[in-house]
Amino acid sequence: MYLERWLGSRTGGLEAGEFQLSRLQRTVDYAYRESAFYRDSFNRAGVKPTDICCLNDLSLLPFVTAKDLRDEPYRMLCVSLSGVQRVFTLYTGGTSGAPKKVFFSAADFDGITDYMGAAMRSVAVGGGIAEDAFKAYIILPDGKPESQQKSLARGVERVGGVPILGDLALGVDEQIERIAKSRPDILFGPVSRIYKMSLRARETADLKQLGVKVIFTTSEYMPPSMRQRLEDIWNAEVFTHYGMTEMGWAGGVECQAHEGFHFNEVDFLLEIIDRLAA
């Protein structure tokens, strides 16, 4: 899998655990020095950066909650406001009060872009598309100065692919017309949007003739029945992606085995929490 090769290239020859520990120690030290929120949080928990000696010491670190993101977003920053490339304001349905704010620097976007490109290329290879030449039609929110769509488009270009930017404002017929003209290998977008578009479009068009080889979905859970229906409508293999804005969008992606996600172990250290014990 291309993603595994990409992850290996990022560790500088270190074993995964050794690399993760080094990054964890560096990150905790940086957050303690540069962020008022994390410094106070660690002090209240009685934790110092020098206490992190092995990966199991991750359990020593205090939790960050959604309430923290709503109540103290600016105190979390490790850079000045001039170093912030974009702020994303997240509203949760059914929740009153202040929204969550998530900040990204230029360096954050650069890392996100690299991973997005590697994930897309992995899916292309897993779907039987030529590794060094593929076209991806991207249906994601756009915006200035940065967006999910722009980051993914740059990532696709970095790995030799051709991004085709879809427009969320287009109706189903116009969207399908663009796909028919551009003939992408991969169709990428949120589960519900692609599914609804597919059901409506198949009433007037044979989507199997549009040349799409892979449907790559994100943003929402997709049950097996929906996956099967999409594969039947497009005659394409369906891959899913896991991510969220708070973690920088990109987190994990399926391979052709379709038995779970390959997570970005370079940028994320996963911990299984016993909620009852916590």
Full pLDDT tens readout for the chain, 278 residues: 788 888 888 888 888 889 999 999 999 999 999 999 999 999 999 999 999 999 999 999 999 988 998 899 999 999 999 999 888 887 765 455 688 888 999 998 888 899 999 999 999 998 989 777 899 999 987 877 677 888 899 999 999 999 999 988 889 999 999 999 999 999 999 999 999 999 999 998 899 999 999 999 998 899 999 999 999 999 999 999 988 888 887 789 999 999 999 988 888 888 888 766 55
Confidence (pLDDT) at 77: 95
Peptide bond into 99 cis (omega under 30): no
User: Tell me: the pLDDT tens digits for 132-166?
Assistant: 789 999 998 787 767 788 889 999 999 999 999 99
Confidence (pLDDT) at 278: 52
And the tokens for 189?
């977008």
Does residue 270 sit within a domain?
A: no
**Amino acid identity for residue 4 in this structure:** E
Confidence (pLDDT) at 87: 87
Q: Are residues 88 and 125 in the same domain?
A: no
Antiparallel, parallel or unpaired: β 252-254 and 135-138: unpaired
Does residue 213 sit within a domain?
A: yes
Q: Which of 82, 105, 128 is the last residue of a domain?
A: 105
Q: Are residues 118 and 57 in the same domain?
A: no
Q: How many Å apart are CA 240 and CA 255, to the nearest integer?
A: 9
User: Tell me: the pLDDT tens digits for 239-262?
Assistant: 999 888 888 877 899 999 999 999
Buried b (16+ CB within 10 A) or exposed e, 188-223: bbbbebbbebbeebbeebebeebbbbbbbbbbeebe
Q: Are residues 156 and 244 in the same domain?
A: yes
Confidence (pLDDT) at 158: 93
CATH number at residue 226: 3.40.50.12780
This prediction's pTM: 0.88
Q: Which residues, listed in sequence order, are joined to residue 259 by a DSSP beta bridge?
A: none
Does residue 27 sit within a domain?
A: yes
Q: Are residues 60 and 133 in the same domain?
A: no
Q: Are residues 12 and 72 in the same domain?
A: yes
Query: In this structure, are residues 131 and 121 in contact, taking their beta carbons and an 8 Å threshold?
Result: yes
Confidence (pLDDT) at 229: 97
Q: How many Å apart are CA 132 and CA 106, to the nearest integer?
A: 27
Does residue 273 sit within a domain?
A: no
Does residue 269 sit within a domain?
A: no
Does residue 271 sit within a domain?
A: no
And the tokens for 148?
């999910």
Q: Are residues 33 and 113 in the same domain?
A: no
Confidence (pLDDT) at 250: 78
Q: Which of 73, 105, 137 is the last residue of a domain?
A: 105
Confidence (pLDDT) at 153: 93
Count of structural domains, the chain: 2
Q: Are residues 79 and 215 in the same domain?
A: no
Q: Are residues 22 and 133 in the same domain?
A: no
Long-range contacts of 229-235, Cβ-Cβ distance < 8 Å, separation of 24 or more = 229/195, 229/198, 230/194, 230/195, 230/198, 233/198, 233/199, 233/202, 233/207, 233/208, 234/187, 234/198, 234/207, 234/208, 234/210, 235/207, 235/208
Q: Are residues 100 and 210 in the same domain?
A: no
Confidence (pLDDT) at 96: 58
Confidence (pLDDT) at 141: 79
Q: Are residues 159 and 254 in the same domain?
A: yes
Give the residue numbers spanning the domain of 19.
2-105
Q: How many Å apart are CA 50 and CA 37, to the nearest integer?
A: 18
Does residue 88 sit within a domain?
A: yes
Residue reference for tokens 């002090």: 43
Long-range contacts of 7-15, Cβ-Cβ distance < 8 Å, separation of 24 or more = 7/118, 7/264, 7/265, 7/266, 10/266, 11/266
Does residue 44 sit within a domain?
A: yes
Q: Are residues 14 and 87 in the same domain?
A: yes
Q: Which of 57, 82, 105 is the last residue of a domain?
A: 105
Q: Are residues 47 and 30 in the same domain?
A: yes
